[in-house]
Amino acid sequence: MAKISYREALNQALREEMRRDSSIIVIGEEVAYYEGAYKVTQGLLAEFGDKRVKDTPISEEVIVGAAIGAAMGGIRPVAELMTINFALLAMDQIVNNAAKIHFMFAGQSFVPMVIRAAQGSGKQLGAQHSQQLEAYFMHCPGIRVVAPSTPMDAKGLLKTAIRDDNPVMFLEGQGLYSLEGEVPPGDYTIPLGKANIVREGSDITFISYLAMVPECLEAAKELSDRGIEAEVIDLRTLNPLDKATVFESVKKTGLALVANEAWKTGSAGAEIAALIMENCFDYLDAPVIRISATDTPMPYNRQLERAALPHKEDIINAVNNLLKVAIPQ
């Protein structure tokens, strides 16, 4: 398998799908001539022309609204929002239109569209450009929510999202674009709603997605050196959520830790922790632990920003404290 970056994997997915299906278009701010803020749409304008790769005005409500109308009319648009923070300007279109049209039209109309957006912190972009908003969309019925952490998953899941007849929020890790990994040659897809056990273990289950998956793997590696074997689950999609894989793992290990970069209060991690408590309570040796960002607007200062974000050290410390509860000395 070739080793390519996360951004290249996304680019391959878009290019291959556009070759396969002429109804697919890409729209958004600077996706054409500038080739995308993160260069994910590089080369698409040259190959497919300005009728299928279109720069838009600086208006997220217009971008998403145009994509909804196009999707209802038989086109499969991929709309790029420069960052997930700008999705807040299009929440009416996303939540009240994209998510609901199929149901309000009694199933007679479909909205097969993808909204791609980068999210994440750690690059000193300030409070308004450093947010993780997956919980907003996970909370809303009618929207698929995808969050890949590897190049292989990014390509396979984007292809699946484009082919899906439902609106999909496709969230990309802002700090993952340069991450390299092996990607299979040729056409392949990864089903939505199927988590991936990226590391097997017997002592505790780590559940995560996007940028916290590498942190969980690093923490698991260090814990393994001390005889503690953590099983790491990469959720990959948040809606649909692969509850079965999570529950089976937690019932096996008896301990669970949910890690994400978003604020702790009301996060996707809170929902996952609640599901584990509701469905695996009799198997748990201690309460579910959540590792999240501090509930504060993201500081600009580099040291304060790092302090506000979760890291592998937080996971390791939490496991040490958890084992004291689960296995009293």
Helix (H, G, I), strand (E, B) or coil at 98: helix
Collect all residues with Cβ–Cβ distance below 8 Å to 272 and sequence separation of at least 6.
Answer: 207, 235, 241, 246, 258
Task: Give one DSSP letter per residue of 261-282, joined into a string.
Answer: EEESTT-HHHHHHHHHHHHHGG
Q: What is the DSSP letter of 283?
A: G
The conformational region for residue 265 under phi > 0 = left, psi -120 to 50 = alpha, else beta, is beta
Say if CB 102 and CB 143 are below 8 A apart: no
* Beta bridge pairs of residue 181: 4
d(Cα 309, Cα 93) in Å, to the nearest integer? 30
Instruction: Please give the helix or strand (H or E) that residue 204 lies within, else none.
Output: strand 204-208
What per-residue string of b and e applies to 201-237 under the rule 16 or more CB within 10 Å gives b?
A: bebbbbbbbbbbbbbbbebbeebeeeebebbbbbbbb
Residue type, 127: A
129 given a catalytic annotation: yes
CA–centroid distance for 54 within its chain? 25
- Backbone torsions φ then ψ of 247, nearest 5 degrees: -65, -40
| Given 29, 60, 172, 215, the catalytic residue | 60
| Given 8, 102, 129, 134, the catalytic residue | 129
Say if CB 193 and CB 246 are below 8 A apart: no
d(Cα 324, Cα 164) in Å, to the nearest integer? 46
Residue type, 198: V
Single out the residue of 145, 229, 228, 243 nearest to residue 192, CA to CA.
Answer: 145
Annotated active-site positions, please? 60, 129
